[in-house]
A = this chain, B = another copy of it.
Amino acid sequence: MDDSEFDVIEQYFLPLGEWSLGDTRVGPGDDCAVVQVPDSRQLCISTDSFIEGVHFPTGANGQLVARRSMAAAISDLAAMGATPFGMTGALTLVAVSAPWLKQFSSVVADLIKRWQIPLLGGNLSRGSELSVTWTVMGLVEPGRYLLRSGAQADDDIYISGYPGRAGYALAGVLQGREVAANLEKHYSHPTPRLELGKLINGLASAAIDVSDGLLADLQHLLTASGVGARIDLASLSDDVELFAACGQADGVRLALTAGDDYEVCFTAPIEQRKVLKQISEQLQLPLTRIGKIIQSKVVEFENVPRQFDPTTLTAQPGYRHFK
């Protein structure tokens, strides 16, 4: 690193390390950060990279990159039912742009407080491609975490929030179309479902972070659990705003396959329906029951809209960004 790199770190990133939850003994700036881990806790850890032109559009502003990348990374903690504990970030810049860095760092400063996840350290490099890699850590009580592998036959399958809205908004942005604010915000201001993850921890039988599309990520949950699913496609049209904007066939397709939501897909025994309804009301967050787990290792669809061909789904399992 040379002086300009240290200047960027000092100006934009070292101040972000000053906020902590009280556990930080050494913040960013030494060889390592040091944090006190509460006794009798297990640490959940996940790492995610976000690359310009792959995970966000080329030329995206610093706010969007910070918001979407942080939400996506922290969404993995939500899906484990973990409480955020800290994160590190590795940023690779093609060039030093003060406005971009100001946008990026001010959103990070805001979100680490909003989502209560201190920035413990970072790395700044120059490269030929803009990217950011977040490593997030959370805490759970011993053994109390949500896995992908616990779904049982007859369990209900739920999806949180508004699957498909972010994908609809992204398509609009890329095509230069105007998108209603109530749909657009799910792309530009995604929210990791941290409160939900904690509330369903202990009552859900399995959970997965949705980031590659509902159907693709549900498939990972089904594989890990050794089961199948019957999906009621009519349940997806509960999102009347999305369906009004794009029609039934596109609405179903987006809700099932768009890889731009950071929602939680989870399963729970039927007897939890009442509690989950209360949680949904408490959080003012839709928890849509989209189907049920079946023993047979297949995915079946019910109430298929007339204009929609479900065989196209197998050729499009989420967002493909790897050749």
Report the bound CA distance from A167 to B227 in whole Å: 55
Number of copies of this kind of chain in the complex: 2
Residue from A137, A149, A207 having most chain B Cβ neighbours under 10 A: A137
Q: How far is the CA of A34 from the CA of B54 in the complex (A)?
A: 28
Give the distance in Å from the alpha carbon of A149 to the alpha carbon of B95 in the complex: 31
Of residues 83 through 134 on chain A, the ones whose CB sits less than 8 Å from some CB of chain B are: 86, 88-90, 92, 95-96, 120-129, 131, 133
Minimum CB–CB distance from A131 to chain B (whole Å) comes to 7
> Is A41 an interface position by the 8 A CB rule?
yes
Q: Is A82 an interface residue (CB 8 A)?
A: yes
Asked whether any CB of chain B lies closer than 8 Å to the CB of A306, the reply is no
Known: A54-B126, A123-B133. A43 touches B35 (CB 8 A): yes
Q: Quick check: A45 and B33 within 8 Å, CB to CB?
A: yes
**Which residues from chain B contact A31 at a C-beta distance below 8 Å?**
46, 76-77, 79-80, 148, 207-209
| Bound form: Cα–Cα A149–B29 in Å | 11
A212 close to chain B: CB less than 8 A: yes
Number of A residues near B (Cβ < 8 Å) is 77
Taking CB atoms, residues of chain B closer than 8 Å to A40 are 39
The answer to whether B49 touches A32, judged by C-beta atoms less than 8 angstroms apart, is no
Q: Is the CB of B44 within 8 A of A92?
A: no
Q: Which of B55, B80, B212 contacts A32 (CB 8 A)?
A: B80
Determine whether the beta carbon of A49 is less than 8 Å from that of B321: no
Q: Evaluate contact between B35 and A42: CB separation under 8 angstroms.
A: yes
B residues within 8 A CB of A208? 31
A77 to chain B: closest residue by CB = B32
Interface string of A243-254 (1 = CB under 8 A from B): 000000000000
List B contacts of A26 (CB < 8 A).
145, 147
Inter-chain contacts of A133 with B (CB < 8 A): 47, 49, 90, 123, 133
Q: Does A1 contact B (CB under 8 A)?
A: yes
A binding-site residues for B, Cβ under 8 Å = 1-5, 25-26, 29-37, 39-49, 51, 53-55, 76-77, 79-80, 82, 86, 88-90, 92, 95-96, 120-129, 131, 133, 135-138, 140, 142-143, 145, 147-149, 207-209, 212, 224, 317-318, 320-323
Kindly list the 4 A-B residue pairs having the minimum CB-CB distance in the complex, ordered from nearest. A32-B44, A2-B320, A5-B322, A135-B135
